[in-house]
Structure 1
Amino acid sequence: MKYKVIGMMSGTSLDGLDLCYVHLSVDENGRWQFELQCSESIPYSAEWRLKLSAVEAGNALGYALLDVALGRYFGEQVKAFISKHQLQVDFIASHGHTVFHQPSAHYLTTQLGHGAQINAVSGVPVFCDFRTADVALGGQGAPLVPIGDRLLFADYDFCLNLGGIANISLEEDGVRKAFDIGVANMPLNYFVKSLGLDFDEEGKIARSGQVDQAVFEALNALPFFEKFGVKSLGKEWVFSEVIPRLETIGKTNDQLATAVEHAAYQIGRCLGHFSAKQKGKCLVTGGGAFNQYFLERIAFWAEGTTLIIPGEEIIEQKEALIFALLGVLKYRHEVNCLASVTGAKQDHSAGQLFDYQGKLSS
């Protein structure tokens, strides 16, 4: 059977909304295939970026109102996407926009962009809220993409995503393992704003800077980096532990150079740890895959691992594509969240369905 699905992803780097229309199918041997039909990345306006970056400092009413407003905005964008490309869609699978993520301390993870609003505006059934069940089961609620890495990208030894946060996925002794490595684009985009830019194109500004060795070492000494395994990061940690240390550096290009070096070092250290057993190919996706300087520094620290940079559409849309798969697995009542990855009590099928028209049978 072929499933015609739109995956929707809004990442912590605040780049915008990714929409990916894909056909997914599985054969009699359980092998999954995907055909990416079309996609769009819709940048957030300055107004939306301000709202999303400031929401955690506001009040409960402001959070609730933004949840509704963003859901309606998502619904409007996906409705226009469907109309523009004349798509036949079975359902939408939406990640939402993560704001609070504190699984270990409070069993808490929250994503803005309410599925009921997306469903009501677009008229298409919506699967969403893929993280909260895992956190309730004692897991990290992240990363969720590794099930897609296993089913759709098994040709690679490692899958590295460079979004706001860097995360990795790999198979070890027949068990899928994945976790957040550390920061990636989030501090880079934060500091480049002082120059009136949204991002450091190809890492040119970072390349011109000097690494502050003391700050570099202080960042690498943070307790988060003591182990490789089940762990995840939220925006709160980045702004409490990473940004203040980088702010002690005087120049923006030096801040960027130090942030890149720290992120690349931790990624290289992680790849080196697992490459001791299985040197191989690493698929690199996410916005950081366009940062040539970042890639060079990762390659320097990850000697022995081959970095594979796919086409632009996969770089930008891999996470949205895999959330489409998560929606299909939920629809089929199959596991879409792996305990080996998140640390939850058990594998499970996560997500909620909003379908006021009753188009999908449960």
Structure 2
Amino acid sequence: WTTAKANLTIRTWTKMSPITIRLQRGKLEAIGLMSGTSHDGISAAVVELDERTRPPARLIAFQTFPYPARFRKELLDASADEKIGAAAISTLNFALGRELARAAIEVARRARVSLSDVAFIGSHGHTFFHLPPRRATRGQVASTLQLGESAIIAAATGVPVVADFRAMDVALGGEGAPLAPLAHLWLFADPKRGRVVLNIGGIANATYIPPRARLGDTDLVAFDTGPGNGTIDALASRISGGRLRMDRNGRIAAGGHVNRPLLARMMQHPYFRRRPPKSTGREEFGTHLLDRFVADARSIRVVDHDLLATVTALTARSIADACRRFIFPRGRVDQLIVTGGGAKNPTLMRMIAAELPDVEVITAEKVGVDGDAVEAVAFAILGFQMLRGRQGNIPSVTGARAPAILGKLTLPPAPLA
């Protein structure tokens, strides 16, 4: 089946490989979709990809589409429910597919890009469960599950969809995360500066890019540092009785005082000492941990705004601790470039800068990149790599046994003959 609009040819073979995929050389337009651990909504980016340019990815348009309040609650509740049934998971999978498709259609409309000109959609979906090999205990099977049915997206848009990027890396013994470092190389590599790209979403993750970095360098390292905005947002919601979804601009934390003994107790979590490759999520830094933080605070009479300041300091301290333990010994770091929602929290940014006084802490916008869009752009890049037959994972980052092509291709309905 051939679709000229996408410059994508699928040819059936009788030997060795069932399909071969070819993309026309030169620039093409793609859409990247991402739903993060904050459960806030879908990030959607229209991206121009052209390997002849530097950087090879150029953002055309970006938009975040918040989840309807009821759907967000269903997703959050399901993520926290260890006894959720198959029917609920299947329903969420298709419902998320509809939300992702709507985001793709709307971001293309706002960018004034026809879907007929979009070569493909790279959709991360939403990580519903993630248990990599190094976290699986005896009797458990390492696994990862991203919801957001790609067939729904392909049927609604008429565009080929590459999705389910994490599974192959986990199958090869890797963490399946983080997957953004390849995009970080494309967007942030610098011939003179050593950089850490720090994305602060629900969970925070860091990528070290040494000067003149290239794919395959053994100095490349990336991993989840621990909690990002997720714990801060959940606590803000709890202490406000559900009126707030976040501590906007870090205002509540700015009015509080960090409780040093409580912070030290929080930093005793074993994840912070674990060496990379490593990844984490709500399984380790979710509701149950927040319950413990609140109980500890109540036992020593820490008031709400001081607790929120302390939880914000936990994100900053754990990021700095991870840099000192696992990144600084690898080489020089001149800049820490912050992306994601955490970059919009001035209180958190000040705390990070205070923890790392010898490093320039800046936002991605300071180097000409839209920090909110980076992860959505990353999955457009990973989709491109898959369709080119190139590796998407970085084994020195994930711990996988080998480089691998990531993602699965879902074709839209073929035109009737």
Q: Counterpart of 1:165?
A: 203
- Report matched runs for 1:232-251 at 5 Å: 232-239=279-286, 242-248=289-295, 249-250=297-298, 251=303
Q: Counterpart of 2:4?
A: none
Q: Counterpart of 2:338?
A: 284
Distance in 1, Cα, partners of 2:291 & 2:265 = 11
Distance in 2, Cα, partners of 1:6 & 1:342 = 25
Query: Displacement of 1:89 after TM fit?
Result: 0.9
Instruction: Give the match's secondary structure for 1:90.
Output: strand
Query: Displacement of 1:338 after TM fit?
Result: 0.9
Q: Is the 8 A contact 2:61 2:107 kept in 1?
A: no
Q: Counterpart of 1:275?
A: 328
Match of 1:107 among 142, 146, 151: 142
Instruction: Give the match's secondary structure for 2:50.
Output: strand
Q: Is the 8 A contact 1:102 1:108 kept in 2?
A: yes
Distance in 1, Cα, partners of 2:409 & 2:157 = 14
Q: Is the 8 A contact 1:131 1:351 kept in 2?
A: yes
Match of 2:86 among 53, 56, 60: 60
Query: Displacement of 1:171 after TM fit?
Result: 3.4
1:6 aligns with 2:31: yes
Name whichever of 80-89 and 11-20 sits farther off.
80-89
Q: Is the 8 A contact 1:95 1:323 kept in 2?
A: yes
Q: Counterpart of 2:399?
A: 343
Q: Is the 8 A contact 1:7 1:321 kept in 2?
A: yes
Query: Displacement of 1:358 after TM fit?
Result: 5.2
Match of 1:92 among 102, 121, 145: 121
Letter in 2 for 1:8: L
Deviation per CA, 1:36-63, whole angstroms, max 9, x where unpaired?
Answer: 1111111112112101101131212101
1:262 aligns with 2:314: yes
Distance in 2, Cα, partners of 1:245 & 1:24 = 46
Q: Is the 8 A contact 1:125 1:353 kept in 2?
A: yes
Q: Is the 8 A contact 1:101 1:235 kept in 2?
A: no
Instruction: Give the match's secondary structure for 2:179.
Output: coil
Q: Is the 8 A contact 1:102 1:234 kept in 2?
A: no
Instruction: Give the match's secondary structure for 1:263.
Output: helix
Query: Displacement of 1:240 after TM fit?
Result: 6.2
Instruction: Give the match's secondary structure for 1:265.
Output: helix
Name whichever of 171-180 and 127-136 sits farther off.
171-180
Distance in 2, Cα, partners of 1:285 & 1:165 = 12
Q: Is the 8 A contact 2:46 2:111 kept in 1?
A: no
Letter in 2 for 1:90: A
- Report matched runs for 1:1-362 at 5 Å: 1-27=26-52, 32-56=55-79, 57=81, 58-87=84-113, 88-104=117-133, 105=136, 106-155=141-190, 157-171=195-209, 174-175=217-218, 176-194=220-238, 195=240, 196-239=243-286, 242-248=289-295, 249-250=297-298, 251-273=303-325, 274-275=327-328, 277-311=331-365, 314-357=370-413
Query: Displacement of 1:32 after TM fit?
Result: 4.6
Letter in 2 for 1:191: L
Distance in 1, Cα, partners of 2:322 & 2:281 = 19
Q: Is the 8 A contact 1:187 1:259 kept in 2?
A: yes
Distance in 2, Cα, partners of 1:39 & 1:218 = 40
What TM-score results when the alignment is normalised by the length of structure 1?
A: 0.93
Q: Is the 8 A contact 1:21 1:39 kept in 2?
A: yes
Distance in 2, Cα, partners of 1:291 & 1:83 = 30
Instruction: Give the match's secondary structure for 1:26.
Output: coil
Distance in 2, Cα, partners of 1:41 & 1:76 = 12
Instruction: Give the match's secondary structure for 1:264.
Output: helix
Q: Is the 8 A contact 2:45 2:107 kept in 1?
A: no
Instruction: Give the match's secondary structure for 1:350.
Output: coil
Q: Is the 8 A contact 2:272 2:322 kept in 1?
A: no
Instruction: Give the match's secondary structure for 1:257.
Output: helix
Larger Rg: 2
Query: Displacement of 1:217 after TM fit?
Result: 1.6
* Count of matched residue positions in the alignment of Structure 1 and Structure 2: 357
Distance in 2, Cα, partners of 1:350 & 1:102 = 18
Instruction: Give the match's secondary structure for 1:109.
Output: strand
Q: Pairwise CA RMSD of aligned residues?
A: 1.9
Instruction: Give the match's secondary structure for 2:230.
Output: helix
Instruction: Give the match's secondary structure for 1:118.
Output: helix
Q: Is the 8 A contact 1:135 1:141 kept in 2?
A: yes
Distance in 1, Cα, partners of 2:174 & 2:386 = 18
- Rate the CA distance shift 1:207–1:84 in 2: closer, same or farther, 3 A: closer
